[in-house]
């Protein structure tokens, strides 16, 4: 189940106390609706401990806890698994220090973390801009080039502030639960085991022939990080909305292009149809300079993987 990342900006407004309490009640009902589908897998990630949350200016969570409608909901919230701050949900050793997100020109740490981790952003419904089941963010990424520049792209992140918003995400939440039941990636311990199960676990990914040797010889400390990246990619392709996401799937981790010089020198591979093509789009895995190069084919709704290993050219 994707983690739920609390949008801290939705907690920084000024509003009437009764309105804030009603908004918190609605948000927790939405969170509980997710937990009903996958109780053990639902995790709330916030910038601070849930008991220390500020719901609005001058309105700590204690003011909501004291209301009659909050009694059962607060108990349910405390029973859930929680994490804080947001970066505590990142993979070990990963900081994503080269990626930043904003919404309407304002930095949004929680929503950005939701996009990076393939989760859902959740917000208190106190402002009209948070009444949506998807939000558009601007992502700024540093790129691997000699000039040290950055690239701005628009991305969309699943979002919920009400139970109705959760309803829009239930199909893929259930798919997540079913996928977890079909195969536990934590049982894979070697690159050879990973290769043998790729077709079963990642039906939306296709691998160039050269990748088999790379996976079979994968360093042990990279097996689980690569498993996670492949699972994220497969899910992103599954959830891709060709009408709403014209540029392609919303990848769960930062995806960047290679500099033109590196693209020419290192990123040309023979594709599955025998044609030579550039696979300069890549994502990262840690520890170290792990890279996964791929291209997404909209016509077949598949991602072709050309390289999994160390950064090309080193």
Confidence bin at 180 (pLDDT 50/70/90): low
Candidate from 173-182, 227-236, 240-249 with smallest mean pLDDT: 173-182
pLDDT digits (tens, 9 = 90+) for 270-310: 999 999 999 999 998 876 778 999 999 999 999 999 999 99
pTM of the full structure: 0.68
Query: Is 148's pLDDT higher than 70?
Result: no
pLDDT digits (tens, 9 = 90+) for 10-69: 999 999 999 999 999 999 999 999 999 887 778 999 999 999 999 999 999 999 999 999
**Beta carbons of 202 and 182 less than 8 angstroms apart:** no
Higher-scoring residue by pLDDT: 260, 31: 31
**Beta carbons of 195 and 217 less than 8 angstroms apart:** no
Structural domains of the chain in order of their starting residue, each with its CATH number:
4-170 (no CATH), 183-310 (3.30.2310.20)
Average pLDDT, the chain: 89
Convert the chain into a string of H (helix), E (strand) and C (coil): CCCEEECHHHHCCCCCHHHHHHHHHHHHHHHHHHHHHCCCCCEEECCCCHHHCEEECCEEHHHHHCCCCHHHHHHHHHHCEEECCHHHHCCCCCCCCCEEEEECCEECHHHHHHHHCCCEEECCCCCHHHCCCEEEEEEEEECECCCCCEEEEEEEEEEECCHHHHHHHHHHHHHHHHHHHHCCHHHCCCHHHHHHHHHHHCCCEEECHHHHHHHHCCCHHHHHHHHHHHHHHHHHHHHCCCCCCCCCCCCCCCEECECHHHHHHHCEEECCCCCEEECCEEEEECCCCEEEEEEEECCCCEEEEEEEEECCCC
Q: What is the pLDDT of residue 50?
A: 94
Q: What is the pLDDT of residue 265?
A: 92
| Residue 286, token pair as written in the block | 């840690």
Spatial distance between the Cα atoms of 250 and 303, rounded to a whole number of angstroms: 13
Higher-scoring residue by pLDDT: 80, 128: 128
Q: Nearest 5°: CA angle at 5, between 242 and 225? A: 75
Q: What is the pLDDT of residue 173?
A: 85
Q: What is the pLDDT of residue 147?
A: 58
């Amino acid at each position: 189940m994707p983690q739920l990342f609390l949008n801290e900006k939705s907690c920084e407004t000024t509003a009437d106390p009764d309105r804030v309490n009603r908004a918190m009640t609605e948000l927790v009902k939405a969170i509980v609706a997710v937990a009903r589908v996958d109780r053990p897998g639902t995790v709330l990630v916030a910038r601070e401990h849930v008991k220390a949350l500020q719901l609005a200016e001058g309105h700590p969570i204690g003011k909501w806890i004291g209301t009659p409608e909050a009694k059962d909901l607060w108990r349910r919230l405390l029973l859930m698994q929680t994490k804080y701050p947001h970066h505590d949900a990142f993979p070990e050793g990963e900081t994503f220090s080269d990626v930043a997100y904003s919404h309407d020109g304002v930095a949004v740490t929680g929503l950005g973390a939701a996009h990076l981790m393939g989760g859902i952003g959740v917000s208190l419904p106190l402002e009209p801009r948070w009444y949506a089941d998807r939000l558009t963010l601007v992502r700024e990424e540093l790129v691997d080039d000699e000039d040290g520049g950055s690239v701005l792209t628009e991305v969309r992140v699943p979002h919920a502030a009400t139970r109705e918003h959760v309803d829009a995400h239930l199909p893929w939440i259930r798919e997540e639960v079913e996928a977890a039941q079909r195969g536990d990636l934590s049982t894979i311990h070697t690159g050879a085991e990973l290769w043998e199960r790729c077709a079963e676990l990642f039906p939306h990914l296709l691998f160039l022939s050269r990748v088999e040797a790379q996976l079979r010889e994968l360093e042990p400390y990279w097996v689980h990080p690569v498993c996670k990246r492949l699972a994220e990619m497969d899910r992103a392709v599954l959830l891709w909305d060709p009408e709403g996401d014209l540029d392609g799937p919303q990848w769960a981790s930062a995806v960047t292009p290679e500099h033109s010089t590196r693209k020419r020198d290192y990123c040309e591979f023979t594709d599955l149809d025998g044609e030579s093509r550039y696979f300069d789009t890549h994502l990262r895995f840690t520890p170290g300079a792990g890279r996964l190069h791929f291209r997404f084919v909209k016509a077949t709704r598949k991602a072709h993987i050309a390289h999994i290993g160390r950064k090309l050219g080193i």
